[in-house]
Structure 1
Amino acid sequence: MNDSATHVLVLPSYNTGPILERTVREALRYWRPLWLFIDGSTDGAHEVFLKKPEEWPGLRVFVSQTNRGKGATAAWAADEAARAGFTHLLLMDADGQHPADRVPELMSLSAQRPEACVMGQPDFGPDAPWVRLAGRQLSVGLTQFETLWGGLADPLFGMRVYPVGPLREVFKGTRFARRYDFDPEVAVRLFWAGVPPLRCRVPVRYVPAEEGGVSHFHYLRDNAFMLWLHVRLLLSFVPRCFSVARLSRRFRRQQDGGGGPLCSC
C-alpha cells in the first residue's frame, strides 16, 4: 500500500481501551498514512505504538497530556495536516463503530470532489441503543433547518473527509466546536461557508462492552449541551438565512444533476 500524499486518516482517541490496537491495525490495512491523536488518555492503550514504532509502518502518534475534547483534537490535526502538506483528512472514531473498510471509498469520493465535505450517512443495525437513536433526531431536524434542507448527512455521525483549508477557517471563526459539539457545528458552518456536502452511506456497529466497546456519552449532560449548541446556531442562522437559502438551492440543483451528485454510495 502506498502512502497518500494528499489525504490522511486521523483517529482521535480518549481512553478507548484494548479496542484501540484492533482499530489501528484494521485501519492500517486500508489506508496510510494514519495519524493517531491521543487526547489525554490515562489507560495506557497507546503505549504499544510508542514502544515499538517500527512494527507500525504508516502510523504516526501525537500525544496530548491533557484532555482537549474531540473538536480541539480535530483542530490540532487540521493544523498538523496543513503543516505536512495534506489537503484533506478523514476523521474516524477509534472505538470500533466506524468501519475501516469504507475508508478507501470515502477517500475516493473526496478525490473526485475535493471541494466537498464527504459525510458518512449511518446505517444503524439492531445493536444501536434506541435511546441514542431517539435522542439524535432533534439534532438531525435542527441542522436540516439551519441549512434549509441543503443535503447534510446525519450531523452526529463523525466519519467524514474534510478539506483541511475550510475546516481550519471554521475553527478560526468560532470559539466553540471544541468538544461534543464539534460534529454538528462544523457540518453546519462548513455548509454556510459554501462547502458542499457529499453523502455516503456507512454501516455502524455499536461494540458491546464484553468485546471492549466503550462510550463516554452522558445522555442528559450531552443532550443539554446539544440544545445549547443549536440555540447558538439558530441565532447565527437568522442574519444569514438568505445566503443559506441560495446555497441550499445551489446544492440541491447539483444533487438533482446540475453539477454532479451530492449523494453517493
Structure 2
Amino acid sequence: MQEPSRTHLVLIPSYNTGERLFSTVAAARAQWNPVWVVIDGSTDGTGERLQRLAATDPGLRVWQLPENQGKGAAVLRGLEAAREAGFTHALAMDSDGQHPADLIPTFMQASQARPDTLVLGRPIFDASAPRIRVWGRKLSNGWTHIETLWAGVGDSLYGFRIYPVNALIEVMRAQPWMRRFDFDTEAVVRLVWSGVKPINVDAPVKYLSAAEGGVSHFNYVRDNLLLSWMHARLMGEFLLRLPSLFVKRLRGLPPYQP
C-alpha cells in the first residue's frame, strides 16, 4: 500500500459527475495517497456511494456539501480541512476525466522541489477540444498576462494544478469572489499578486463526449459573462496597482513579491 503523504494531497471537487467520478477517483488513488473529494451538493447519488468506498479505503476521504455552491467554494472547503490536518499543498483536479491522473506524481515532485510556487498545468489539446473553448481560453489568457505583467502563467484556466494551501485560503478569504467558474483564473492572478511564482508543466487535456461518459456544466452565456466580469474587476485592481508597480520597476524590484 502506498504510504500517505503528510504534506501533499489530491483534492477533487465534484458536482453531478455520475459514473465518471468513480473512474477519476480510482485513477487518482492509483497514483497518490491521500485523495480527498468534496461533493458539491450533488443529487445523483455519487456522494453516498463514494462515502461507502471511503469507509474501506483509508487513503480516500469524502466531504458532502448540502447544496451546490460552486467549484471554488468546494475547493475552499477542502483546503480548510487540509490545513486543519497539517497539509501544505493540494493538487486540484476535475472529476470529469479530463485531467491526466498519471501525471500526479510528476506535478507533486515539481511542487516538493519548489514548495513556494504554484504548479500550473499547461494544456496540450487534441482533436476533442471544441474550437470555441480553445479560442476563448486564448482570450482569457491574454487578459491574465496583462493583469500579471507576463509573470509566466502558461494557462489560467486549466484546473489541473497544485496550490500552496495557506496562500490560497488567505486570498479567497480576503474577498467574496472565486466561488464558481471564476475560481481557476482568479486564483492564479491573485496568487501571483501575493508573490507566489508560477511554474508550468505540460499536461494533456481530454474533452470526453457524452458517449464516453463526459459531463460538462459549462454554460457558454452564463460562464463567459462571469469571466468577463471577473477580468473587468481584475483589470480595475491592476490599474490601481500600476503606480506602485512602476516604482518597483524603477528600483529594479520584482513587481510582485511577498
Name the structure 1 match of 2:46. 45
For 2:43 and 2:233, the matched residues in 1 are separated by 33
For 1:121 and 1:244, the matched residues in 2 are separated by 27
Give the TM-score normalised by structure 2.
0.93
> Which SS does the other structure have where 1:117 is aligned?
strand
CA contact (8 A) 1:196 1:251 kept: no
For 1:134 and 1:85, the matched residues in 2 are separated by 40
Higher mean Cα deviation, 19-28 or 46-55?
46-55
Name the structure 2 match of 1:241. 242
CA contact (8 A) 1:49 1:56 kept: no
Name the structure 2 match of 1:169. 170
Is residue 2:192 matched to residue 1:191?
A: yes
What is the letter of the counterpart of residue 127 of structure 2? P
Is residue 2:68 matched to residue 1:59?
A: no
For 1:233 and 1:4, the matched residues in 2 are separated by 35
> How far is the alpha carbon of 1:153 from its aligned partner?
2.0
Name the structure 1 match of 2:69. 68
Give the TM-score normalised by structure 1.
0.91
Name the structure 1 match of 2:128. 127
Distance change (3 Å), C-alpha of 1:250 and 1:122: farther
> How far is the alpha carbon of 1:78 from its aligned partner?
1.2
> How far is the alpha carbon of 1:165 from its aligned partner?
1.0
> Which SS does the other structure have where 2:96 is aligned?
coil
What is the letter of the counterpart of residue 66 of structure 1? E
* Equivalent residue runs for 1:18-33 within 5 Å: 18-33=19-34
What is the letter of the counterpart of residue 133 of structure 1? V
Distance change (3 Å), C-alpha of 1:114 and 1:24: same
> Which SS does the other structure have where 1:121 is aligned?
strand
Name the structure 1 match of 2:86. 85
What is the letter of the counterpart of residue 171 of structure 1? M
For 1:23 and 1:9, the matched residues in 2 are separated by 11
Name the structure 1 match of 2:222. 221
Q: Which runs of 5+ in 2 are unaligned?
A: none
For 1:251 and 1:224, the matched residues in 2 are separated by 33
What is the letter of the counterpart of residue 97 of structure 2? G
Q: Which runs of 5+ in 1 are unaligned?
A: 253-265
CA RMSD of superposed structures (Å): 1.7
Is residue 2:153 matched to residue 1:152?
A: yes
**How many percent of aligned residue pairs carry the same amino acid?**
47
Name the structure 2 match of 1:256. none
> Which SS does the other structure have where 2:45 is aligned?
coil
Q: Alpha-carbon deviations, 1:134-186, whole Å to 9, x = none? A: 12221110000001111012111111100111111101221101110001111
Distance change (3 Å), C-alpha of 1:250 and 1:150: farther
Distance change (3 Å), C-alpha of 1:84 and 1:243: farther
CA contact (8 A) 1:155 1:184 kept: yes
> Which SS does the other structure have where 1:120 is aligned?
strand
CA contact (8 A) 2:47 2:64 kept: no
CA contact (8 A) 2:70 2:181 kept: yes
Distance change (3 Å), C-alpha of 1:54 and 1:176: closer
For 1:165 and 1:50, the matched residues in 2 are separated by 27
* Count of equivalent residues: 251
> Which SS does the other structure have where 1:78 is aligned?
helix
Distance change (3 Å), C-alpha of 1:27 and 1:243: farther
Name the structure 2 match of 1:95. 96
Q: Alpha-carbon deviations, 1:78-111, whole Å to 9, x = none? A: 1111100001011000000001011111011000
CA contact (8 A) 2:54 2:62 kept: no
Distance change (3 Å), C-alpha of 1:178 and 1:52: closer
For 1:200 and 1:109, the matched residues in 2 are separated by 9
> How far is the alpha carbon of 1:65 from its aligned partner?
1.3
What is the letter of the counterpart of residue 95 of structure 1? D
> Which SS does the other structure have where 2:181 is aligned?
coil
> How far is the alpha carbon of 1:204 from its aligned partner?
0.5
